[in-house]
Amino acid sequence: MWQNEPRLDLRQWEIGQTNNKPTKKGISLKLHQVKTLNNGMESIQESLKKNEDLKWHLGMNVYASVQKDNPCVDIRQYWKRPQLDESVPTKKGLCFRPQEFDIFLKHWEEIIKAMPELEKFVACYDQSDHFNQLGMLSCQALNILVYFNRKNFPSIQLQVVADCDMLIRDAYTGWPGCTHDARVLRNSSLFDIAENGQCVMHGKFIIADSAYPLRNWLMTPFRDNGRLNAQQRRFNQRLSVARQIVERVYGHLKGRFRRLREISVRKLSRIVSLIISGCILHNLCVLHHDDVEAFIDNDDDRHPNAYPNIFVDGRDGALFRQQLMNTMPL
């Protein structure tokens, strides 16, 4: 108990001949941090078992982390250096070796039961006002590991379908930055509607990159395995040229609305509303012929994940792509 507030004190003790006493080495967790730690306990165990990196945000710059090739669970407070984006670990924390963490887990359920106040507390990443000092594009405040992409910065996926006039016809956002593009698509209403033949007319199609599954309504390039013929390479090149429109849309979005580059909003629902609002305002700007080219940065923002397709291509899509390639003018 600290100032009438229950806390979980993780502390290293000094073993004496007559009695034991706590040392200064350790950390005290507030209730919402304990709740967040409890929610992430399975992920922490799995990362430790698989020897994978993990950084689970408990709130107020406290993280539970597992480092690859350094088998331990480190629960520690971090400090953000002034005018720098990086955060560094402090001495305030405790590192559990695997055998120590196993003993800790055996008592974890008892600890949770001894803190009935946890029931009314909200986990850190569900709060709208908790302290966070690492804000970048999307949601550091929601900072569970899955919101970090493969380049190790937090982001949220934005799926956009744009036409040749750069109007956004469909926008879908809210998935964590490390989520595969194809998985985002499969969970969007666009996929269900298109699969039922309700939004893409017969003979028409949407162009996508190689991260997406091939369908009769979704056209992707031939996989370059080093054995493509000249006709297939030409098809891929023309598909790539056509896809530059949607890349310009992203550039215009971030050029017009700079807040989308570094979102300071904390709550996920508000982040989604902010992004969708940007898409709507983008369309209004396009319809009113607003000139934005002077504000576009050629920073070559490539997709941080660059995942290959993980779903099976559709047979109808493969036949349709072959037909398109055969009828394509030289």
Q: Of 35-49, 110-124, 271-285, which one has max mean pLDDT?
A: 271-285
Continuous segment of H or E residues that includes residue 283: helix 268-287
Strand partners, 14: 21
Report which of 46, 34, 2 is spatially closest to residue 123, judged by C-alpha positions. Answer: 34
Strand partners for 59: 62
In 143-224, alpha helices (H): 181-186, 189-195
Indicate if 60 and 90 belong to the same structural domain: yes
pTM above 0.75, yes or no: no
Indicate if the pLDDT at residue 290 is higher than 60: yes
Q: What is the pLDDT of residue 181?
A: 85
Residue 166 lies in a domain: yes
Q: Please give the pLDDT value at position 95.
A: 93
* CB atoms near residue 123 (< 10 Å): 21
Do 110 and 231 reside in the same domain of the chain?
A: no
What's the total number of domains in the chain?
2
Domain span holding position 170: 156-327
Q: Please check whether residue 129 lies inside any domain of the structure.
A: yes
Query: Does one domain contain both 121 and 174?
Result: no
Residue 142 in any domain: the answer is no
Residue 280 has pLDDT above 90, yes or no: yes
Average pLDDT, the chain: 79
- Same domain assignment for residues 37 and 163: no
Neighbour-count burial for 177-210, b at 16+ CB within 10 Å, e otherwise: bbbbbbebbbebebbeebbeeebbeeeebbbbbb
Same domain, 257 and 305: yes
Q: How confident is the model at residue 145 (pLDDT cuts 50, 70, 90)?
A: very low
**Are 27 and 109 in a shared domain?**
yes
Confidence class for position 121, pLDDT limits 50, 70, 90: low
Give pLDDT tens digits for 154-168: 788 899 998 888 889
Same domain assignment for residues 229 and 93: no
The pLDDT of residue 308 is above 80: no
